[in-house]
Amino acid sequence: MIQGKKFISPGAWFSMIYPADWSEFEEGEGTFLFYNPDVWNGNFRISAYKEEMVMNYGKQVVANELKDNQSAQKITVGDLVCAYSKEMFEEEGEYYTTHWWVTGIDNIAFQCSFTVRKGESVKPAESIISSLAIRYDGKKYPAEIIPVRLSEIFLINESYEWVVNTVKQEWSQPFQGTEEDLPKLQQIVDSGLIGKKKKDEWMAVGIALCVILADEIEGIQWMTLVDGNREAPILVYNDHIIDPMKLVWSKIKAGEPCNIEASYKEALNFDKQ
């Protein structure tokens, strides 16, 4: 089995394995960027395109690329047939090569690129491409926990900012993301500001509570949970999972009381039980 980190695309179209010392970075919408932030050995970008009703769409896209791009050649990477091409460019006196692969599996086509210094290996990119797998609509997959994606990082930041702004606007108080702010989260819960069916706002309160927990528990990490249609940020410490949804929204939805301090203490003390 290929060693590394697993990435499942938003919407769970496809998955792939990328090097353990790489991370995901911000890129244009629909394109995902990965590289090693400490020792740079190339930027890998991938975009996916899906045609629901055309099961050989991937093969069609490869054939079209080979037909329309005179510099493309047909190669095999792992089990995948690809249309491969490359181009060289110069930037600030140094030469780089961008390698391009167009490939596909059933009704999904992929465009991958890998930019490296001229003459450097493309093996990291080929390893990622060979690990590509699509996830089929209607098929049930087991829940998976993967490294936190940018889409969940954005959600964490947006949720936290919503709480900060709500506390500031409603009560003219600062929210610093520390234990001292627990009563302010309880104030939001008890105030009636959030309607009982406003899931996103209740989730924001749970995420803000987890932000405080993450600051208090050394070694805890944000991860992404992919479980059916649910793709959400969670906290993971060793084998223990803290789910923001269960801290607040699940209780509100069930009509149960939501005691922020009690939830916080329970989560904070799990490793002492």
User: Containing H/E element for 214?
Assistant: helix 199-216
Domains and CATH numbers, the chain: 5-139 (3.40.1000.10), 147-272 (1.20.120.1090)
Tell how strand 31-35 and strand 133-134 pair up. unpaired
pLDDT tens by residue, 16-47 = 999 999 999 999 888 999 999 999 999 999 99
Q: What would the mean pLDDT of 91-120 be, rounded to a whole number?
A: 97
Q: Which residues contact 64 (CB under 8 A, 6 or more apart)?
A: none
Q: What is the reported pTM?
A: 0.93
Average pLDDT of the chain is 95
pLDDT tens by residue, 170-186 = 999 999 999 999 999 99
CA 215 to chain centre: 21
Query: SS3 breakdown of the chain: % helix, strand, coil, rounded to 5?
Result: 35, 30, 35
Rounded CA-CA distance 221/38 in Å is 20
Distances (CA, A) of 265 to 56, 92, 191, 201: 53, 54, 22, 22
